[in-house]
Amino acid sequence: MIKRLLILIIFTYGFCEGFAQKITGQWKGIFIDKSTSSMHWGGDRCEYTLELEMNGTAVSGYSYTYFTENGKRYYTICKLNGFYDAHTKYVEVKEIQRTKTNVPVNVHNCFQIHKLKYTKQGNDELLEGTWVPAEGQDWDCGKGITSLRRRVLNDIIPGYTKPVIKNNVATKYSTKPLTKNHLVKNKAPQKNIVNPVKKATVIAKDNTAKTKSTAPVIAREKSLIRKIDPVVSAIEEPVVVPLPAISLPKTYEKRISSIVKTIPVKNKQLKICLYDNGEIDGDSVSLIFNGKLLLSHKRLSAGALSITVDLDNDNNAVNELVMYAENLGSIPPNTALMVITDGTQKYELRISSDMKKSGAVRFLYVPDKKEP
């Protein structure tokens, strides 16, 4: 009986953990206003993104709402919290604080509660359900349906490849080795130089003089060949072109680093992928790891900016990755979704930067303890 109970507990725990892993992440889609009482400013359909993180049964994160009115793009970013039920696969989130918006103050910008259920159809993971206005609002906010699809990061993270610059320098010279044909071509002009000297010696009537003149010709021919040898060896040596030094941004030291999270990791080599968070609005960033510039002026998009980093060998060292904003895009601040791969473990977090502070993540190396 006890054995069966333990198996049931382990199964239930594994089920809950697996479901939490599926819900954590970014979900993109729409919400539609199905109310008939009024037509709201911005229309009845809005683009909607939920960024969720699980901690036990609690849910936290952010929502991103986008719509276009009279040719202008509007947005609202809200902080949210909620809960989930692993057995019924039910998720409920409530917007509680507006962190960023460009919607005019005279427009009803309502907080919402989204009541969603997780389903999987083939390779698609969905959160679908309804939404209602949060309580305590003084105007009609409508109600309707929500349909979101999980952003499957595994499908769009490209495999890391070594820098192309290094390979180009190596192959530029190794693919063109000297052959016998090259040496034959070099000997051709030698005969043209030596032959006029032989013709000059034939004019002499004295046979002794003719014999004496032959020796200098041979010596001269050999000396000409020796002069060509250094040229051949020079071609074989590759020319090393030094790469330009990459320096940190001038204002890097003046900006405050805001630590988003400290993550304990088990491996000394990590893979980092960075995506534009929510709306792709032209954000440009640089990545700095332990004071060294790894990526400079790179634009965030739906595709990953992918790098690998090697942690400091000292187990007590602070390893810090900083996202430095080069601009603010059309929707400030610069926000990104960062995915850290530590062996088989993955972490997803939201990081933001502006012209005064830079979002940063710290890694603490905690290796597995080996059994004696």
| DSSP conformation letters of 126-172 | EEEEEEEEPSS-SS----EEEEEEE--GGGT-PPP---HHHHHHHHH
Residues 204 and 296 in one domain: no
Q: Of the candidates 96, 119, 151, which is a domain's last residue?
A: 151
DSSP-assigned beta bridge partners for residue 220: none
**Is 321 a member of any domain?**
yes
**C-alpha to C-alpha distance for 177 and 186, rounded to whole angstroms:** 15
One domain for residues 105 and 49: yes
Element (H, E) at 190: helix 180-202
* Same domain? 198 vs 92: no
- Is 140 found in the same domain as 27? yes
Task: Give the separation between CA 65 and CA 264, rounded to whole angstroms.
Answer: 33
In a domain, 157, yes or no: no
Same domain flag for 333 and 222: no
Measured between alpha carbons, how far is 323 from 126 in angstroms, rounded to an integer?
Answer: 31
Segment 175-184 long-range contacts (CB within 8 Å, at least 24 positions apart):
177/236, 178/232, 178/235, 178/236, 182/232, 183/232
Query: Look-up: residue for tokens 């709306």?
Result: 279
As given in the structure block, the two tokens for residue 141 are 């906010």
Name residues of the chain where pLDDT drops below 50: 6-17, 19-20, 38, 41-42, 154-213, 218-219, 222-224, 232-233, 235, 243, 371
Q: Which two tokens stand for residue 174?
A: 């190794």
285 and 218 inside one domain: no
Domain stop point among 236, 257, 288: 236
Amino acid letter for position 26: Q
pLDDT in tens, 56-85: 899 998 899 988 888 888 888 899 999 999
Q: Are 354 and 258 in contact (CB under 8 A)?
A: no
Residues in contact with 122: Cβ distance below 8 Å, sequence separation at least 6, in sequence order: none
CB 231 within 8 A of CB 268: no
For residue 165, the number of C-alpha atoms closer than 13 Å in the C-beta half-sphere is 5
Phi (first) and psi of residue 17, to 5 degrees: -65, -45
pLDDT in tens, 276-312: 876 777 888 999 999 899 999 999 887 888 999 999 8
Model's pTM, two decimal places?
Answer: 0.52
Distant-in-sequence contacts of 113-120, Cβ < 8 A, 24+ apart: 114/31, 114/50, 114/146, 115/90, 115/91, 116/90, 116/91, 116/92, 116/146, 116/148, 117/88, 117/89, 117/90, 117/91, 118/19, 118/22, 118/23, 118/89, 118/90, 118/91, 119/89
- Torsion angle of the four alpha carbons 219, 220, 225, 230, in this order, in degrees rounded to the nearest 10: 100
Claim to verify: residue 126 and residue 201 sit in the same structural domain:
no
* Residue 136, both tokens: 């305590």
Which pLDDT does position 151 carry in this prediction? 61
Structure tokens that stand for 356 in this block: 């005064």
Contacts of 362 (CB under 8 A, 6+ apart): 259, 261, 262, 263, 318, 319, 320, 321
**Residue 48 has what pLDDT?**
93
Closest CA to 53 of 23, 93, 15: 23
Q: In one letter, which amino acid is 282?
A: G
Rg (alpha carbons) of the chain, rounded to whole number: 35
Q: Say if 178 falls within a structural domain.
A: yes
Q: In whole angstroms, what is the distance from residue 70 CA to residue 74 CA?
A: 10
Query: Is 177 domain-assigned?
Result: yes
Say if 310 falls within a structural domain.
yes
In this structure, is residue 241 part of a structural domain? Answer: no
Domain of residue 16: give its range: 2-151
Task: Please check whether residue 160 lies inside any domain of the structure.
Answer: no
Question: How far, in Å, CA of 148 to CA of 50, rounded?
Answer: 8
